[in-house]
Amino acid sequence: MPSNSIDNAFTARGLTGAASDPTYAGALSFMRRKFTKSLKGADAVVWGIPFDAAVSNRPGARFGPQAIRRASAIFDNDPQYPFDADLFEALAVIDYGDCLLDYGNHQKTPATIEREAAKILKSDAFLLSLGGDHFVTWPLLKAHAAKHGPLALVQFDAHQDTWYDDGKRIDHGSFVGRAVCDGVIDPAASIQVGIRTHAPEDCGIAILHGHDVEEMKAGEIAEAILARVGDRPAYVTFDIDCLDPAYAPGTGTPVAGGPSSARMLSVLRQLGALDIVGADVVEVAPAYDHADITAIAGATIAMHYLGLLAARKRR
pLDDT of residue 162: 95
**pLDDT grade for 57, boundaries at 50, 70 and 90:** very high
| More confident site: 40 or 76 | 40
pLDDT of residue 202: 95
Nearest Cα neighbor of 268 from 306, 227, 315, 314 is: 306
pLDDT of residue 4: 67
Nearest Cα neighbor of 170 from 74, 69, 59, 66 is: 59
Q: Is the dihedral of CA 225, 226, 230, 236 positive or negative?
A: positive
Mean pLDDT for the chain? 95
User: How many residues are recorded in the chain?
Assistant: 315
**pLDDT grade for 244, boundaries at 50, 70 and 90:** very high
Strand partners, 95: 35, 46
| pTM assigned to the model | 0.96
What CATH number has the domain spanning 8-314? 3.40.800.10
- 157: alpha, beta or left, given left = phi > 0 and alpha = psi -120 to 50? beta
| More confident site: 18 or 237 | 237
pLDDT of residue 22: 85
pLDDT tens string 145-157:
999 999 999 999 9
Distance CA 117, CA 141 (A): 10
pLDDT of residue 123: 97
Q: Which residues contact 138 (CB under 8 A, 6 or more apart)?
A: 110, 175, 178, 179
- Res. 1: pLDDT tops 70: no
**pLDDT grade for 41, boundaries at 50, 70 and 90:** very high
